[in-house]
A = this chain, B = another copy of it.
Amino acid sequence: MLRCTRCGKAYPETFRLRCDCGETLLVEREGYDFFGSLLPYLDIRRYLNFLPIGGNYLPPAIPAITPTTSVQAGPVFALFKLEYLQPSGSFKDRGTFVTVAKLMEEDINEVVLDSSGNAALSLALYSLPAGIKAHLFVSYDTMPEKLSLLQSLGAVIHFVEGDRMAVHEKAEEFAEREGLTYVSHWLNPYFLEGTKTAAFEVYEQVGVPDYVLVPTGSGTLFLGLWKGFKELEKMGEIARLPVFVAVQAAGYESLCERSKLPNPLADGIAIPQPPRLKEMERVLDETGGLCVSVDEHETREALSWLKRAGFLVEPTSAVVLAAMWKLIERGEISDGSRVLLPLTGSGLKLIEGI
């Protein structure tokens, strides 16, 4: 079922973004045995038993199980998870895969999303074979190459004047006015069901890390990873959650104090008012976590380090490494810790910039 994150009201598992009270929803499911429920696949279908979809209507571009690789980084072990090795080049495909499967089951074939970035590319790529028409709301400063790719994938582009929050509002208004399904990944509980599978993989690959550092704007990966580890705890697999660290872009912080000078490199997390903010605050409380803000210079340095280590990622992905360095310097991560650093987006589409 779906359950409200504020008032606790329950709903059946249909496609829905909000509780009647206006607050966000999470999928809730009961009592599994983790290893007994794994399916014999070597891709995301391995975790189908934990997902709120039937499995009869799956998009053809199946997300991969991404490698998790341990690299000694000063006094700690960095566990890089190569989340960018997905069909559209980012971790968003996990969430999109589950969302589109759900939409297909409910026979919904026209949807609205706001995002000029990875979520839009992911939805466009998965919508086309599913026969779903995607209206994508974007700002005027979206890269022309990205727009032409989105259009060639059959998406309908709607331009909006204003900042990221204005684009979000316009998309929701349009969906309401036209009677279409708004699939905002900021709100969509099925999206988090997809991203939670990354935690299941980490657990199978390396057990429970001590820290999880996540690029955090709207929180789709932050909350997904938290939900995955939380379910493992409920299943009795793990005794404690990792400490969650939200890593944010300077100038766009929602959990850390807002910086004056914005970080123009971390566009993937430049979301100053995420709707799931309270949920994220609760995760920081629950796990004894904290928020770290990263500026342009720090992002650039981390990006360069990652490239030299063999990881071709986009700038937003680099903030977690910069944050880890800060925490080590401040003495806030103890020696020998195992620190999960999901690398969220591919650098290949930005070959000139990296």
Contact = CB atoms under 8 A, between A and B. Distances in A.
Contacts of A82: 61-62, 64, 87
Contact of A69 (B62, B68, B80, B348): B62
A181 interface: no
A125 interface: yes
Contact of A310 (B60, B65, B71): B60
Interface string A79-100: 0101001111100000000000
Contacts of A239: none
Interface stretch (A10-18, A144-152, A161-169, A284-292): A144-152
Contact of A349 (B67, B307, B351): B351
A346 interface: yes
Q: Which 7 A-B pairs have the closest CB atoms?
A: A61-B310, A43-B67, A348-B348, A62-B67, A85-B85, A348-B349, A62-B69
Contacts of A80: 60
Given A42-B204, A125-B312, A145-B352, A64 B61 contact: no
A64 B63 contact: no
A131 to B, nearest CB: 11
19 contacts: A42-B65, A42-B201, A61-B69, A61-B82, A64-B66, A87-B311, A88-B312, A89-B346, A125-B310, A128-B308, A128-B309, A128-B310, A145-B351, A148-B352, A149-B354, A153-B307, A154-B308, A346-B348, A348-B348
A59 interface: yes
Interface residues of A, number: 49
A273 interface: no
Contact of A126 (B63, B89, B152, B310): B310
Contacts of A66: 64
Given A129-B308, A205-B41, A85 B64 contact: yes
A80 B354 CA distance: 30
A88 to B, nearest CB: 7
Interface string A336-354: 0000000000101101101
Contacts of A71: 60
